[in-house]
Amino acid sequence: MNTHSRMSTHPAPQAGQVKLHETFFALFGGPIAWFLQLCAGFALSSEPCFVDGMRSSEIIFT
């Protein structure tokens, strides 16, 4: 049996209509957002360890 007779249309007929910037956003948007969240969380959580720009020898709980 011929495969062309069973499949009359392309499985992804609109595959060529996706713009390149949409593809890059779909691939890299999540990891970039995760990296920014990781950096912001580290900056916020390590802020109590530094007093006036100097590293503190004790943890300050406020």
pLDDT of amino acid 39: 96
In a domain, 16, yes or no: no
- Which secondary-structure segment (H or E) carries 54? strand 54-55
Other CB atoms within 10 Å distance of the CB of residue 16: 7
In a domain, 33, yes or no: no
Percent of the chain whose pLDDT exceeds 70: 81
How confident is the model at residue 53, as a pLDDT?
77
Q: Is residue 51 part of a domain?
A: yes
What is the mean predicted confidence (pLDDT) over 13-40?
Answer: 92
Give the integer Cα–Cα distance in Å for 22 and 29. Answer: 10
Band (pLDDT 50/70/90 cuts) for residue 25 is: very high
Q: Is residue 18 part of a domain?
A: no
Identity of the amino acid at 36: L
CA distance linking residue 5 with residue 16, whole number of Å: 23
Q: Does the pLDDT at position 60 exceed 70?
A: no
Based on the structure, what is the number of domains in the chain? 1
Give the pLDDT band of residue 58 (cuts 50, 70, 90): confident
Q: Are strands 50-51 and 54-55 parallel, antiparallel or unpaired?
A: antiparallel
Domain region containing 55: 38-62
